[in-house]
Amino acid sequence: MPDHAEPTDAPRGADDAVRPGASRRPVEAVLFDFHGTLAQVEEPRDWVLAAAAACGVELDRVRATALADRLLTAGRAGGPLPARVPPRLAELWADRDLYEHAHRGAYTGLAETVDAGIDGFAEALYERVLVPEGWVPYPDTPATLTALRERGVRVAVVSNIGFDIRPLFAAWGLDGLVDAYALSYEVGRCKPDPGIFLRACGMVGVDPERALMVGDTPADAGAVRAGCAVLVLPCAEPGRANGLGAVLDLALPS
């Protein structure tokens, strides 16, 4: 997934931005990363089993686990970076967060490097990332977004991604808690470019100095260059709380 594929060098000032000083103005908006912050992709074996079933094939769990391991090495949307990108996919890979066709082409192409012997398998694997069932919202996501809504804090989702995630939030009943989506393939900018954070602030009508960016990678800390405060959380496994409640301590001080 685009969010996992972000650069690893944190911008200067990130450490200071994690702890907004007393002189900072009150937080009026929280910008959230998507993958690894609000939700996580389903477990790899479940992903493989569901995709195979969509192709009319029932896999045993041993074979599904082996395939999942190989596919993770090849590169999964929402998973680790590929061990190697074939030259024929290099251009699609470079543009995956900027164009829908590039995102699909890059990840289906990587999946096709693993011979599963199942017709249509690569496309079925990609389709799982487009549906709500292919994701698991973190357990503290609904409560955190609800608390911000109740206190009048604006919320935007800022993601490096090549497809529309709004239907996912709608299916989870969380769409009414998000005011705007700054998605890289729509904005034309990818984190850590400050432009995408500035666009998100503009969407919710809040000055960057009154916004807090919450993510799980150093690229999310690129919001520092846009003037935002930043909170970087540890990425957690699907279904496990990732400390998202800490946002409330910063955005909703007592």
Domain endpoint, select from 87, 119, 134:
134
Q: Distance between CA atoms of 203 and 156, rounded to whole angstroms?
A: 8
Nearest alpha carbon to residue 230 among 33, 23, 22: 33
Are 221 and 110 found together in one domain?
no
Are 104 and 150 found together in one domain?
no
Are 33 and 153 found together in one domain?
yes
Q: Distance between CA atoms of 87 and 125, rounded to whole angstroms?
A: 22
Q: Distance between CA atoms of 73 and 81, rounded to whole angstroms?
A: 8
Q: Distance between CA atoms of 13 and 90, rounded to whole angstroms?
A: 32
Domain endpoint, select from 134, 153, 187:
134
Contact 47, 134 (CB under 8 A): yes
Torsion, CA 55, CA 137, CA 220, CA 146, rounded to 10:
150
**pTM score of the predicted model:** 0.88
* pLDDT bucket at 252, cuts 50 / 70 / 90: confident
Q: Provide the pLDDT for residue 80.
A: 86
Are 155 and 218 found together in one domain?
yes
Are 84 and 58 found together in one domain?
yes
Q: Distance between CA atoms of 26 and 29, rounded to whole angstroms?
A: 9
Are 95 and 142 found together in one domain?
no
Nearest alpha carbon to residue 43 among 69, 13, 10: 69
Q: Provide the pLDDT for residue 243.
A: 85
Are 22 and 52 found together in one domain?
no
The model's pLDDT over 45-97, given as tens digits with 9 standing for 90+, comes to 999 999 999 999 999 999 999 999 999 999 999 888 998 999 999 999 999 99
Are 231 and 157 found together in one domain?
yes
Domains held by the chain: number: 2
Nearest alpha carbon to residue 31 among 242, 169, 232: 232
Domain endpoint, select from 78, 104, 134:
134
Q: What are the beta bridge partners of residue 230?
A: 213
Q: Distance between CA atoms of 6 and 223, rounded to whole angstroms?
A: 13
Are 67 and 159 found together in one domain?
no
The model's pLDDT over 222-249, given as tens digits with 9 standing for 90+, comes to 999 999 999 999 877 777 888 898 899 8
Are 77 and 179 found together in one domain?
no
Angle (CA) 202 101 115, round 5°: 135
CATH number of the domain residue 9 falls in = 3.40.50.1000
Are 122 and 66 found together in one domain?
yes
Query: At 34, phi and psi to the nearest 5?
Result: -95, -75
Are 65 and 188 found together in one domain?
no
**In what helix (H) or strand (E) does residue 178 lie, and over which residues does it extend?**
none
Q: Provide the pLDDT for residue 251.
A: 86
- For residue 35, the 8-state DSSP code is B
Q: Range of 26's domain?
A: 2-38+138-251
Contact 154, 179 (CB under 8 A): yes
